[in-house]
Structure 1
Amino acid sequence: MSRNGQQLYLANLHYAYAPSDKRRTLQARPAASRQPSPSRTLQFTPVRWRQLLLFRMPPNQGALKRRIAVPDSEMLVYCDNILREHAARHGWSKKLTNEVKRSLKLLQALQDTPGSKLHASDVLELPRIGGTALSTLEILAAADLLVDDRTLAVRHYFAKHTAGLPTKMTDQLQTWLDVMIEGSRQAPRRRARHPQTAHLHILGMAPTLKAWADQGHQSLAEITTEDVRAALPERGAHRNFAEQGLRSLFTVLKARKQIFVNPTRGMPITPVGTAIPLLPLDTEAIRNALNSPDPAVALAIALVTFHALTSPQLAALYLTDIRDGRLTLDDRTIPLAGPVLTRLRAYLDHRACTWPNTINPHLFVNRKTGPRTTQVSRNFPWFKAQLKPQALREDRILQEIHATGGDVRRICDLFGLSIDAALRYAGTLEHTDLTTENPRVRSRPRAT
């Protein structure tokens, strides 16, 4: 016998079925006549209330099929109109359009509150039941029906590296993270930082925080300047990351009055030592990459080999940045080398054949960005190549510094380097492994 009562609910209230006569009318009407006219402006206002759940249950496949067979709701008809216009504008294939349409039907069938906005976290579960997530998110965002509740990757990273710390210390760290990512409008005000900045701070602080917790500290208010100095790594980039992270952490906590004294106040930041550029790469490996059967790989390798572009610069290039054989990059105009122009023509032909209807303005596109206007990730197309862009860029600059006899001004003009960065490469002139007598240096390709 239940001691505290029974939980009751009313069945069949989540989905409003059309009356039988109206359903017969819809079924008898030709499919083409049920589609809204493209010229007709459809409007839809989502409901403002939301049905709360006691617990989440996995969808029943039989019930899901029955719900998909129900005639489209007003929200789905509205989204369908947005979908057709978006697909036509971005050159989507018929297959992708139909996949998104089916995904929208699945979301309608799974909605706890019919007619309400949809959460991005629910959309991301679609691939588990045969739907597509990324393109569906675009349509819902275009229709203004998306509630973006996705968790930033840095918050997952934070949770992983703070697991096991004392509760008080974790709460203080959470306050710092919220201020870093979202900023603060209350005095003292603070602008939001890039999530990558918070990621690097966590990377630097994590070993120090764990060491303090192992020593028995329960709160960051107990930490003194001596504790900070004793816990810091001896040297290198890890010490620099830790110092910057701890300074940011204690500055925020002091401003929020969660600690009494900032133990990092007045402590200098240890400068990071300049790294020596890598040795030249194997010429045969570069030649094989330049002749890759993948046109995107061949062009990317050529642009870095001859003109030392960085991976972020490659991903951000627009088609309009290249005119009359010249590449416009920031405030520089770079005449492209002949081998680069040959691979550029091959890649543009491949791009036009593979994505003939794309409106993506970027030079490099792939399967994910072809139907969109976003740029490729920095890892494209390097995951297909056997070389890393930074190593290839350093190889190109090393070749140029030796070919010009250490002309720092020329290096700065050619590659957009600062004086300090150019001097790093000039400092290798006397290295025995980097002299012009070394065959690996003499055979480097040069841009004209």
Structure 2
Amino acid sequence: SDVYKRPAPAHQPVSGWLQPPLFEARRDFTRFDRQEHARLDNPWLAWARHTAHRLGEAHDWPRGVRLDVGRALVIVLSGHVSGEVVRHSEIFPALRSRGLSVQRTVEVLADIGVFQDDRTPSFEQWLERKLEGIASGIRRDVEHWARLLHDGGPRSQPRDEATAWGYLNRIRPVLLEWSVRYGHLREVTRDDVLTQLDALHGSQRRHTLIVLRSLFGRAKKSGTIFKNPTSRIRVGQHEYGILQPLEPEHVNNSVAAVAKPADRLVLALAAVHAARSGAIRRLQLDDLDIGNRKLVIDGRVRPLDALTLHVAREWLDHRRYRWPDTANPHLLINKFTALGTGPVSAVSLTTPLRGQAATLEQLRVDRQLEEALSHGPDPLHLAEVFGLDAKTAIRYTDSARALLEQAAEQQLR
């Protein structure tokens, strides 16, 4: 079929004056019949097929993906005319029922400027559910605060989506209880806050107070309350336990559990360089300098040890053989991200060590503790080597000092 041949060069169709539509007419692509509806000479389809070929070559799409996108474009653009938009809600049922790639088709449609994403963001759906049952006056302040956490504002940076979720989930029971008695946050008193906090202990009490301070602080800045009822309520100092080194058998089990080149590199980055999973996912190819034996992790240059150098070379050989033409600049890729330019998911890093006593995070912590034990409990040294903040570096040195004192006492005995 002509759909599967290399498309001829094409350009954006020239559009003249367009009659604005009188009303919105949504199309049902699930009823598409190839023999009846396919119009392979449509100029928009020709341009889209040429664009898909260009994107496929740039991102090394497998042949199966290219064929799927070609079929999808025939379905979506055979009857397309200038001025129309293709909505996600229109194409998703038709392509998904046929097993065609929605994501790659959307990339092509967006590139030629005819795609409209009419999906409701997951955060909006989640927020609507969480605000249900909260008094309208309280709800307005909470909604404004939650959106600022998620989206940011003129004087505030957006927080991670998980932070916004965690904050609202933490205080939702409190807000529901207050909604029974009050219609606005300005009615909440200091005694109301203390009553809620007295029923909590430890980290739950501290976290709840931190979140309430954030909410009432924002409402005070917005002028919707006159007095902040959380003022001068002390959070209290969190007492950390002594960090303990991992057992050698646990480390050995984790080493034995990783078999793929990418997983071995991830393990080395966490266990040798104490790299967080987010930093590992963000690593670019340019951050790895094999010739000079250097590695840049979140802007901090580290020397490449023999182990990391070996597994890095092993991974690069595998990456070059498996995806020779990928345009993804990240050091770590997989069969999904090789088709684009984004990082691998956090789950793909943690899955190989699922069920192990020594996880990536524990290996990272163990490496920093080991540095404090071998070099001496010096927070300045830890901050310089791993880029830790002062409080975290002091926590590691306190644990190392306690472990060294315990070892000295046992020797004396």
Q: 1:79 to 1:268 in 2, by over 3 A?
A: farther
| Aligned twin of 2:132 | 163
Secondary structure at the residue paired with 1:134?
A: helix
| Aligned twin of 1:263 | 228
| Aligned twin of 1:81 | 50
Q: Is 1:399 aligned to residue 370 of structure 2? A: yes
- 5 Å-filtered alignment, 1:151-300, equals 151-182=120-151, 190-191=155-156, 193-196=158-161, 197-213=163-179, 215-232=180-197, 234-254=200-220, 259-264=224-229, 266-267=231-232, 270=235, 273=238, 275-276=240-241, 278-291=243-256, 292-300=258-266
Superposed displacement of residue 263, structure 1: 3.2
Conserved? CA contact 1:310–1:390, under 8 Å: yes
Please list every run of 5 or more consecutive structure 1 residues that lacks an aligned counterpart in the other structure: 1-29, 438-448
Secondary structure at the residue paired with 1:367?
A: coil
Name the CA distance, whole Å, in 2 between partners of 1:59 and 1:86: 24
Name the CA distance, whole Å, in 2 between partners of 1:269 and 1:140: 54
Name the CA distance, whole Å, in 1 between partners of 2:405 and 2:124: 44
Q: 1:152 to 1:51 in 2, by over 3 A?
A: same
Name the CA distance, whole Å, in 2 between partners of 1:371 and 1:427: 46
Name the CA distance, whole Å, in 1 between partners of 2:265 and 2:391: 30
TM-score, normalized by length of structure 2?
0.81
| Aligned twin of 1:332 | 300
Conserved? CA contact 1:44–1:74, under 8 Å: no
Of 13, 21, 25 in structure 2, the residue corresponding to residue 43 of structure 1 is 13
TM-score, normalized by length of structure 1?
0.76
Superposed displacement of residue 76, structure 1: 2.5
Q: 1:181 to 1:428 in 2, by over 3 A?
A: closer
Conserved? CA contact 1:44–1:75, under 8 Å: no
Name the CA distance, whole Å, in 2 between partners of 1:338 and 1:240: 44
Q: How many residues align?
A: 397
Superposed displacement of residue 393, structure 1: 0.6
Residue range with higher mean Cα deviation, 339-348 or 305-314: 339-348
Superposed displacement of residue 165, structure 1: 2.9
| Aligned twin of 1:380 | 348
Kindly indicate which of the two structures has a greater share of residues assigned to helix.
Answer: 2
Amino acid in the other structure paired with 1:163: E
Q: 1:32 to 1:109 in 2, by over 3 A?
A: closer
Per-residue deviation, residues 121-162 of structure 1 (Å, max 9, x unmatched):
555544344222222232222222232344343333323333
Q: Is 1:303 aligned to residue 269 of structure 2? A: yes
Secondary structure at the residue paired with 2:302?
A: strand
Superposed displacement of residue 182, structure 1: 4.6
Name the CA distance, whole Å, in 1 between partners of 2:123 and 2:404: 41
Name the CA distance, whole Å, in 2 between partners of 1:72 and 1:194: 48
Secondary structure at the residue paired with 2:61?
A: coil
Name the CA distance, whole Å, in 2 between partners of 1:216 and 1:168: 12
| Aligned twin of 1:417 | 388
Superposed displacement of residue 49, structure 1: 4.1
Name the CA distance, whole Å, in 2 between partners of 1:366 and 1:76: 30
Q: Is 1:368 aligned to residue 339 of structure 2? A: no
| Aligned twin of 2:411 | none
Amino acid in the other structure paired with 1:141: A
Name the CA distance, whole Å, in 2 between partners of 1:33 and 1:403: 62
Superposed displacement of residue 335, structure 1: 1.4
Q: 1:58 to 1:42 in 2, by over 3 A?
A: closer
Per-residue deviation, residues 259-299 of structure 1 (Å, max 9, x unmatched):
44243463456256253364322323323433422111111
Name the CA distance, whole Å, in 2 between partners of 1:195 and 1:173: 17
Name the CA distance, whole Å, in 1 between partners of 2:79 and 2:142: 37
Superposed displacement of residue 308, structure 1: 0.8
Conserved? CA contact 2:190–2:229, under 8 Å: yes
Name the CA distance, whole Å, in 2 between partners of 1:136 and 1:60: 16
Q: 1:199 to 1:172 in 2, by over 3 A?
A: same
Per-residue deviation, residues 222-247 of structure 1 (Å, max 9, x unmatched):
32232223223644443344334333
Amino acid in the other structure paired with 1:273: H
Conserved? CA contact 1:276–1:424, under 8 Å: no
Name the CA distance, whole Å, in 1 between partners of 2:304 and 2:37: 55
Superposed displacement of residue 171, structure 1: 4.3
Q: 1:296 to 1:124 in 2, by over 3 A?
A: farther
| Aligned twin of 1:101 | 70
Identity %: 25
Q: Is 1:135 aligned to residue 104 of structure 2? A: yes
Please list every run of 5 or more consecutive structure 2 residues that lacks an aligned counterpart in the other structure: 409-413
Superposed displacement of residue 359, structure 1: 1.4
